A = this chain, B = another copy of it.
Amino acid sequence: MTLGPSLVLGIDPGTAVTGYGVVRRDGRTTSLVECGVIRTAARDALPARLREVHEGVVELIERHRPDAVAVEGAFYARNVRTTLVLGHARGVILLAAAQAGLVIHELPPAEIKKAITGTGAATKEQVQFMVAKLLRLRAAPEPADAADGVAAALAVCLAPALTAARATAPLSPSASRPR
């Protein structure tokens, strides 16, 4: 059995609410380190909100120093405008991970479900039930966006082989970062 990285930051991107979870793996045991959301103000313009999301992810990476980042990926909203705006948020999140030189796993929702429940067709309730069980929590993390971030991180801890194909090669940290 291939074991995954030992500390993973999982992220569920959004411009309004970005959920995240940090999961630690010790051998075959997984545990939740922290989860929450990065909220941005609806009154702010898109560039300001993107800056808040980027700074939030940079802060999480600096504080936890994860081995890998898992980003819920390639979700196509029904509305094309929603898809474009979601792309903006994912862009600055992938950037923060690339700037830190981390391995990045981009995981479609079905792969996250499969890694956690055994089936890509699992319901949200099944995923939440298994997330709570695998992390020995009384209930699934809240709010739902935070739970989705935790699920992404957990998927990489549990099934590195499943997701390895989507991982990008680690980059060297940025030589010239914005000052």
Contacts and interface: CB of A to CB of B under 8 A. Distances in A.
A95 B54 CA distance: 8
A73 to B, nearest CB: 10
A51 B90 contact: no
B97 A47 contact: yes
A163 to B, nearest CB: 14
A144 interface: no
Interface stretch (A2-10, A17-25, A132-140, A167-175): A167-175
B96 A87 contact: no
B87 A76 contact: no
Given A47-B94, A84-B84, A86-B84, A177 B176 contact: no
Copy count, this protein chain: 2
A179 interface: yes
Nearest to A97: B47
| Most chain B beta-carbon contacts within 10 A, residue among A76, A95, A174 | A95
The size class of the interface chain A forms with chain B is 35 or more
B96 A178 contact: yes
Contact of A50 (B47, B58, B91, B176): B91
A85 B87 contact: yes
Contacts of A48: 98, 168, 171
A8 to B, nearest CB: 16
Interface string A41-77: 0000111101100110011001000000000001010
Interface of A: 45-48, 50-51, 54-55, 58-59, 62, 74, 76, 80-81, 83-92, 94-99, 104, 106, 168-169, 171, 174, 176-179
4 closest cross-chain pairs (CB), A and B: A87-B87, A91-B91, A88-B91, A45-B168
